[in-house]
Amino acid sequence: MNWITRLYYLSRRWGKAIRLFLAIAGPGIVVMVADNDAGGITTYAATGAKYQYHLIWFLIILGPVAYYVQEMTVRLGAVTKRGHAEAIFDGFGPFWGWFSLIDLLFVDWLTLVTEFIGMTTALAIFGVPAWLTVLGVCLLMGFMVLNGRYWTWEKLAMAFCAINLIYIPGAFMVNPSVSEIMRQGIIPNFPGGFTGELFFFLMANIGTTIAPWMLFFQQSSVVDKGLKEIDIPWGKTDTLVGAFFTVLVAIFIIIVTGTVLNGREVTDAAQASRMLMETHHWTGIFMAIGLFDAGLLGAICISLASSWAFGEVFGWAHSLNNKIREAPWFYFAYFFALITSGLVVLIPGAPLVLITLFVQVIAVTLLPAALVFLILLLNDKDTMGDRINTLWENVINGSIVAVIIALSTAYGLTTLFPSLLGQSGTP
């Protein structure tokens, strides 16, 4: 009888914990899954096609890396109740504040264009014209924010996160060899030696895992959601679960293209979908749906990251809990970024490839600054109080930030000067 009572109370305790987690979960899962945006899907697809399963171990390492960077924004947001843009203005003054805000505006807008490229090329596979995709996406994203509740927006975004898992059944459909995946992918190795091309692929995977908009987005969404200091452990769990799913999805994309497209040149995810459809119709369809969903999730988060940042700094009402008449400038910024970036994709002969490459370079100017500010703010006793970084957190986060800065800079420079690594291809 005693064990039945204990089991009952244990299940009640777990049930309560799961309900609490589901109430608090959101920003971490959304930002992490959205991290696998249209550009990310292309990178993973190209990585699998080029190196089969050999770089899966690297993605497994990137999971904790993404977690440690993003959990810092949870703590900073929950303690200061400020978004990252406002925290930079407040902590470092107007020079660094304007630099970050304007840079964020450029990076986000350009990245939004790449998300629209991903979405239009994905739906083009199903015969949907680009203008209809852009119109549909703008209407859908308008509907998501105009209902006037952060909660509704978040749950809709999480539904789109669930669609992102479509790559998993897609991978099972191509019957990959599990023993081969284990043999090639789990133990760290550099297929064909540590060449310039391999280094470029590693850098591209890091570049897609940590992006500047993620820092701004998660901190602002933590504030908008109203997470308190007491919620930080749940916020961290939310981020950890998100990191797990982002790596899981990336690995399954690599498994799909590594199994079916190994040895073939993949330049973008839509092309990979078409190639997959030649032999595995439904896997190709899933890849296209996943690409559209990835672009949509990216667009949802990136457009909000910008408008939240502007709202914080300019003092506008900037919550998704505000109606449009209560926060007109916040919604204007949101729709302006969304519509203008969508229209760029519709311009005949627009330099879309150049824009895609340019994003990688411009992101390199913002990412190191945003990461350094994050570390410095988390080490400020006046700002963080008892939640200040511990020595151990500084060692981990400091090392991660140093490596990310070095590799993302190398990635940006290689994009600018492809001959640096003796190759010219881009994943």
Partner 1 sequence: MNIFHAIGAVVADQIEQVRTINRRYAKPRLSMSPTVQRALLALRIYLLVLVGLLVYKFITLLTP
Q: Name the residues that contact partner 1, by CB under 8 A.
A: 89-94, 96-97, 99, 313-315, 361, 364-365, 368-369, 372, 376-377, 380, 382-383, 409, 412-413, 416-417
> For residues 45 and 271, is the Cβ–Cβ distance under 8 A?
no
Compute the least distance from the CB of residue 361 to partner 1, in Å: 7
Q: Which single residue is written with the structure tokens 């500084």?
A: 394
297 vs 377 by CB, closer to partner 1: 377
211 vs 401 by CB, closer to partner 1: 401
Quote the CA–CA distance of 179 and 79 in Å, as a whole number: 46
Compute the least distance from the CB of residue 395 to partner 1, in Å: 15
Q: Residue type at 202?
A: L
Angle between helices 38-51 and 94-124 (to 10 degrees): 70
> For residues 272 and 287, is the Cβ–Cβ distance under 8 A?
yes
Quote the CA–CA distance of 88 and 103 in Å, as a whole number: 13
8 vs 314 by CB, closer to partner 1: 314
Number of H helices, E strands in the chain: 19, 0
Quote the CA–CA distance of 55 and 5 in Å, as a whole number: 48
Compute the least distance from the CB of residue 87 to partner 1, in Å: 9
User: What is the DSSP code string of 256-293?
Assistant: HHHHHSTTS---SHHHHHHHHHHH-HHHHHHHHHHHHH
Compute the least distance from the CB of residue 171 to partner 1, in Å: 39
128 vs 396 by CB, closer to partner 1: 396
Among 216, 204, 202, smallest CA distance to 366 is for 216
Compute the least distance from the CB of residue 75 to partner 1, in Å: 16
43 vs 100 by CB, closer to partner 1: 100
Compute the least distance from the CB of residue 70 to partner 1, in Å: 21
197 vs 380 by CB, closer to partner 1: 380
Compute the least distance from the CB of residue 94 to partner 1, in Å: 5
325 vs 381 by CB, closer to partner 1: 381
Spell out the residues 6+ positions from residue 367 whose beta carbon is closer than 8 angstroms to its own: 210, 211, 212, 404, 405, 408
77 vs 412 by CB, closer to partner 1: 412
315 vs 348 by CB, closer to partner 1: 315
55 vs 371 by CB, closer to partner 1: 371
Cα separation values, 65 from 86, 198, 205, Å: 25, 20, 12
Compute the least distance from the CB of residue 377 to partner 1, in Å: 7
Spell out the residues 6+ positions from residue 347 whose beta carbon is closer than 8 angstroms to its own: none
Compute the least distance from the CB of residue 111 to partner 1, in Å: 18
Cα separation values, 328 from 173, 280, 306, 309, Å: 47, 47, 15, 15
DSSP conformational letter for 177: -
Compute the least distance from the CB of residue 89 to partner 1, in Å: 4
Among 84, 65, 68, smallest CA distance to 76 is for 84
138 vs 364 by CB, closer to partner 1: 364
Quote the CA–CA distance of 251 and 236 in Å, as a whole number: 22
Compute the least distance from the CB of residue 223 to partner 1, in Å: 17
Quote the CA–CA distance of 375 and 397 in Å, as a whole number: 8
End-to-end C-alpha distance for the chain, whole angstroms: 61
Spell out the residues 6+ positions from residue 13 whose beta carbon is closer than 8 angstroms to its own: none
